[in-house]
Structure 1
Amino acid sequence: MFDHVVFGVSDYAASKAFFLKALEPLGVAIVSEGPLGVEFCCSDSNASLCIRRVEEAATHLHLAFKAVNRGQVENFYKAAIEAGAKDNGAPGLRPQYHSNYYAAFVIGPDGHNIEVVCHEPEV
């Protein structure tokens, strides 16, 4: 549905390093960087995530990324915590959403709630 999402961060270097490490298990990499910020993208998608420098305090967002399997959810969570994120929900089923909703949540450098979710049953 989305082509790209852009939001501001207060500590550009910390946020860039965080998203690069935390989203690496999903195949996300930097595709461009310039004066306006950095663009991350997955090799299997045309949608991108862009962060830019802002002086004012960032508005907190909830960003949810799709995983193809539960292992990616677990690898994201581990990588995000190693990158300095705060736990906001370890990998696990969230049956209140639906029976196969397997997700993990972390709080990133600017207080954004970052989620990775797999909707597929365990194989």
Structure 2
Amino acid sequence: MIDHIGIGAGDFEASRRFYEAALAPLGLGVMMEVTPEQTGGYHGLGMGRDGKPFFWIGNDGQRGAGMHVAFGAATRAEVDAFYAAAMAAGGRDHGAPGLRVHYHPNYYAAFVLDPDGINVEAVCHAPE
């Protein structure tokens, strides 16, 4: 089981705006923020739900191209809303919402690239 994942953002504020907008339709929001003053330089933003931050972005300046992160969605409508929000927030299309039956018959997903080129997915495994 994964407890949390963190990615380095080349532009922390651009990534913050992107992820806050793109993940809101999935019910995820900012749970915690640590400042450079608290940590001696690291600025981190922990996102999640139910008080548990499990997805972190940080100001370490490393671009995450080649990384992939998938967020679970309860419904296909949430996947569609994620895609729309991510695109409106500056994401780049990497696979419009739709079925990917090569994974399994109910694999409904959308893919976008974040400001650093990270492949971000929302996926619903439930039948329609």
TM interval, short-chain normalised: over 0.9
**2-side partners of 1:8 and 1:55: how far apart?**
6
**2-side partners of 1:112 and 1:96: how far apart?**
22
**Residue 6 (structure 1) aligns with:** 6
**Residue 86 (structure 1) aligns with:** 92
Q: Is the contact made by 1:60 and 1:110 (CA closer than 8 Å) also made in structure 2?
A: no
**2-side partners of 1:57 and 1:105: how far apart?**
18
Judging changes above 3 Å, is the alpha-carbon distance between structure 1 residues 56 and 66 closer, same or farther for their aligned structure 2 residues? closer
Length-normalised TM-score, structure 1: 0.92
> Which runs of structure 2 are paired with 1:30-109 in the superposition (5 Å)?
30-35=30-35, 36=42, 37-43=44-50, 46=52, 48-109=54-115
Amino acid at match of 2:16: K
Instruction: State the 4+ residue runs in structure 1 displaced beyond 4 angstroms.
Output: none
- Can you list the C-alpha shifts for 1:1-43, whole angstroms capped at 9, x where unaligned? 1111112111000001100000000111111112231100123
Tell me how many residue pairs correspond in the alignment. Answer: 121
SS for the counterpart of 1:116 is strand
Task: Could you tell me which runs of 5 or more consecutive residues in structure 1 were left unpaired when the two chains were aligned.
Answer: none
**Residue 26 (structure 1) aligns with:** 26
Judging changes above 3 Å, is the alpha-carbon distance between structure 1 residues 49 and 11 closer, same or farther for their aligned structure 2 residues? same
The alignment yields a C-alpha RMSD, in angstroms, of 1.4
Judging changes above 3 Å, is the alpha-carbon distance between structure 1 residues 81 and 46 closer, same or farther for their aligned structure 2 residues? same
**1-side partners of 2:45 and 2:117: how far apart?**
19
Q: Is the contact made by 1:2 and 1:47 (CA closer than 8 Å) also made in structure 2?
A: no
Q: Is the contact made by 1:66 and 1:116 (CA closer than 8 Å) also made in structure 2?
A: yes
SS for the counterpart of 1:90 is strand
**2-side partners of 1:2 and 1:112: how far apart?**
19
**2-side partners of 1:38 and 1:58: how far apart?**
16
Amino acid at match of 1:67: A
Amino acid at match of 1:41: G
